[in-house]
Amino acid sequence: MSGRYDDVILSYYDTILYQADVDLLSGPHWLNDAIISFYLEYLEKEKYSGTNILLISPAVTQCLKASPLAELSIFLDPLQTLEKDFIFMPLNDCEDLRSPGGTHWSLLVYSKPENTFYHLDSSNESNDRQARSLSFKLSGYLKLNKSYYFKSLDSLQQDNMYDCGIYMLCNIENLAEYVLRNKRIEGAKLIKRSNVVTKRFFISELINSLAQR
């Protein structure tokens, strides 16, 4: 890849994208934290501002995995987490909890109206253990007294080793639009494969457009 990490392409609120980040969108590459954080921040600012949806960044999700229950409030209180009905978390399989990374992305969502953690994984529940562990920890912060449900939702399955991040972002947007209309997650339909196919190009064009403002 030709991109470098001293070539800033876009500064968008709390996210800085370099050429090396943007290059990940143009080929068969795994999406990193920077691209995912950017798109979640875009959704938060441009589409879901003022709603009861909370989109948590990959970096904060990793901190939640690494921190004891007593410290979760450090990360979640500033986000007004307890006031939100739907909490979306990009989850990866990184075992080194001191740093971001990993090889697979999936989506964990908490629905307050349904008192349920939902996990959507585009690779046969590869992240099931991480999803259940984080759900259990978050149930303590949310004061659910361990009385909650955990459910694996059907997800469109990827047919390669690198598009998990794209599937995860498509699942986020699909569910977010659904809960805004229906106030629940149960009953949401699968994403369309055509949306997955075009998502890399859409995000790349979005970055170009914002960079030209």
Q: Which of 94, 121, 163, 170 is catalytic?
A: 121
Catalytic residue among 104, 119, 163, 170: 104
Q: Is 94 a catalytic residue?
A: no
- Of the pLDDT bands very low, low, confident and very high (cuts 50, 70, 90), residue 105 is very high
Q: What pLDDT band is residue 14 in, cutting at 50, 70 and 90?
A: very high
The answer to whether 119 is a known catalytic residue is no
Helices 164-182 and 33-46, axial angle in degrees (round to 10):
20
The pTM of the whole model exceeds 0.85: yes
Mean pLDDT to the nearest integer, 138-145: 95
The CATH number for 9-208, chosen from 3.50.50.60, 3.40.50.2300, 2.102.10.10, 3.40.395.10, is 3.40.395.10
Summarize the confidence of residues 114-129 as an average pLDDT: 97
Determine the Cα–Cα distance for residues 112 and 52; give it in Å rounded to an integer: 10
In this prediction, residues 150-178 reach a mean pLDDT of: 97
Residue 1: its pLDDT value, please? 44
Each domain of the chain, given as residue ranges in start order, spans 9-208
* Catalytic residue, candidates 21, 119, 163, 164: 164
Q: Give the pLDDT band of residue 97 (cuts 50, 70, 90).
A: low
- The pLDDT value given to residue 100: 57
Asked if 59 contacts 40 with a C-beta cutoff of 8 angstroms, the reply is no
Mean pLDDT of 132-151: 95
Residue 172 pLDDT grade (very low, low, confident, very high; cuts 50, 70, 90): very high
d(CA 163, CA 147): 34
In DSSP terms, 17 is beta-bridged to 10
